[in-house]
Structure 1
């Protein structure tokens, strides 16, 4: 009975009271609720559609804060205590459930003697979003202006950039703002500038010298976009926060690239110098373009300031060594004259044989000598070290103990003996109290001169000096990977099958160019250090053959060239056998190539060498036959398995009848000399190949088949024994 009565009341409210109230606002959404219980008693059709209520789905009895706001308790922004019957209360609100902005008009209306809340809602999302976008844009532009002022208003670059980062951190309400810079020579990236919220700790030290591959995601996105935000695409799975940041509690990361122009030497293009950004921003994260704008001004400012600093430093820093130059030294001396010194140690250094090195090996090598000496001086006297002339240096040790000074000198002497690529003379002096700077420096200079005269008295032509220097540099270049083995296939001319390969050395020059052996081998032979390179080549070939075998392939014999000087060393063949044994390479896979100059060895030494080859089962090949002279006696006295005809004979095969006679008879001689394999070098065209086939030459190599290839390329192309 009561239920029927309630229904009648509701029907009456809807039909007689509510409809007239909203007829003028029918184009907007509206509802009526009980302000005391928050129960909804009416929704107009527009409101039903907005809430996406299904046909017949009842809303009565539900609370307004649940139905409209998806809340479990009354809204903290509810206006029930502010509305009256006399006028509408107007306000704005963003409805998170509906994702829209509304202009709201609230009023109390009386129905059957009871006050109800009427709310009419006007959707203003489009205009509000537009206004907020304008506000954000204006705020971002103002922030950029502040950043520009921060950069231009501080002469100290560190202070200027910290102020800029503080502005950016505040704009985004972030935890950290930062700049990372790339070091392409070390292939690393480091956090060079940082601002952090006062309640947080700095993490700058944890983000130094990061391998470049760890931040590859940054570069990948920078090349496609102006700025990036990780994780921007997490829902789509297209990008995730780089792992290096996850361990530091970073949940969101925004960054923009800092670009720099490369020099004409590198194409004059832009490259990424670093990036600027924020971590865990909580405001305006969609304004990534702000970072891009700031990055532009930062890159210009850093470049400009560094150019100024560089120009300033150039007048005080030696460009070749990085030590102080003569200007810097003279200024320091003037400062010391006005100071009260407790003690002063002076080290005067002069490089021995720099002119000889420049004349015989070129100025790039002389520069390397200068840098090597400077490295030692800087290591043991880092405070005050100067290059005051072409081959002269001075180091000052100010207000220290004599014991410490002597320890540093001992370190520098050890460096000269064990690490420096050249010799240098030193004059040293240490004084306490009432120091006369000019007298001490003059005395050190005199002592250095005496040591230099003693040195040149024992080394009249400078050759021992250069042998030591060149040997050290050669070993260092080998350790630095500046030498590389190339391989050229040797082809059976009858079948076209690869039956061997020759290992040929290549060297990386000072400017990165690849140098052929004729550019460096003769120098190493002249200075008596070629044995280091020959043994290195032999060991590299052993490594190659070991890898080839372990990979399941079937390697072919590889020839290694040896200088006569290398083979004259004590127990050299024994050492080669030990290397071969260490890599478990079968003897038949290694061929030692020697030239006819080996016949110049003293007869007993040559005989001993051949006996050692036979004892350790080394296969020996005679290389460059016919290059300058052909010592037929060597073919009688030595057991070669191969005779290689020099390229100069092969070049003239088509046009020179005499060359054809020599080549044909040499090949015939090989067949008669215990079946020695005849190999023709330098085959470059089909005419040469056909003539050699006609003479029944066994093996050939040259550009007609393949140029020498780096080991990886050779294995990829010929590891499966491709047939020509």
Structure 2
């Protein structure tokens, strides 16, 4: 693999934000590297560096056991800055000098030692010689034998690992183990092929009978390995291998049974039958695990089962006899399949006609099969993890994004949406601990599953949940919702804020979700406003938010607006985001309602204004010198008696032209004092500031509000933009809004434009500005400057 092919990997190593989505994302990335790169050694070395830097450990490494399992060697190693490599000194180490080392991994295949001084004297001395203070190791298994481990050492002091971190590293170790096993399989395959080639070239006679079938077996194994390691389709490759095995033994049937201990059953997952033999896979799906107890005990003692004649089974094996007799089986060979050192199934042969005594052949093939099955099981698990929330089992945001596309194609009618946000989760985490918060999240998820079993259920972020129902009547939707809200209430107070939307005509899902989310935000505000008794509990959070303003943890984002006539970006809307300590970005819906309820939102509003003025000043001698920036203010800030005075005071600190600032005003149900608003807008207009009427065309917007002040720009709501093409009336309405605005001297800006079709329509309709993801997404100030300063 040349440099161009994996340059993206090198970038990831140095990126601190590459895996901000969490450990699950890191595990998927590790699998991708191993799956895509041809050189396994290079891939493993790269993974150790990526994982080592991600978790900031002193050393990351791999140990692999010798073929006899007596020794181990350090085969891969990565060291952090200032850590001395020890790989060369750790070769051919006898496990016996460590005591019962395999037993250290009895706890879910993980050995975690916070302080190595708590180990035996022999073990402590070995770790201390390497400068290790604490260690975490995850085992590799070959059947039920330790075949190596992935390790992480801390040399600077004790290291505490969280449960999520340990689970992530354990999963990564499983991924590494399967690919390292594949490497060994390929090396062994090459060796066998060389031996067979030598035999053929030497002209030795080959006899194949029950006592001398080595060459035939080796040839068959080579064919199986080649199939398993070269095919991209697991189902086809396994069935092909089973056919090779059936042909070798001349048996009636070859199959794989897998055990599901949590369900207490065994089931037939793969099967190949000789011509004329009736398949049994359909009938062997929920076999009681009790029927396999004798086999499982047999596997533990001699690692295979041979039944030469079922008529010789004793009375204590009557259940086993009945199952085999019903399938017409007279004799059987079986070997176990292992996962992480535990028996999870077996490979079986019914009524073999030749080579009945060659168990070794079957055992070797079982080893190759279980490795490929494990590898593909990991791949499936990682794919599932990318669409499922690991804590709750609900679908996640990735799944929601995919579902939006399916929803767009299907357009189910009617459709209902429920958007929920936990009230005060951060406060509860701070007060009662994160475990309490995790339990609460799980409780809410279970209620969602209970009351909406047929709906699509998502956990979109830490405390945000979404339910989407399809094709159920409104009365049933409301009944289910009321029942769920009641179950989520304590002392008459719901532990979540809820917003809903409903449509019995075809609509886009994001539009329905956006409406439900906005209603949830209103209810969230009402919750804080109506429950003053919890104000004392909010003090720490409010103090933290105010401190964040001082430390500038609130970030200014900019979304550009395109001037249609000139084709230039000459204005942008200023938005605010909050950056959590872990680097994640939080939308205004998360913090604005609380700040509004406590009358503190003006601190954020004026902070954003000041940042906008600083940016405009900074851009004076650049290509953005004539840029205009649009500001949004909370209605609470706008109705403050000293708003205009404070606004002008901040603006007066900078040498800017008033028309470089644009205020976006939205008419809402709460905008009750229209006279006061009209007076304020007149003051701002007289000073020279630009005024924009935002979200025109939906909910509470009216022509009365449009005419009460001298607006410069009218922003057509994205709901109108996205609906225009659905009917001739919508087409006419949009054109009428633009024509009317121009007639009274107001320019128009289309919000939420996402497609070329929408852009072309708005352009032909005479719209002056276009804003939306088609033009560009909101970006941090630094990113905006890098892109638009020329």
Report the TM range for the smaller structure's normalisation: 0.3 to 0.5
With normalisation by structure 1, the TM-score equals 0.39
With normalisation by structure 2, the TM-score equals 0.36
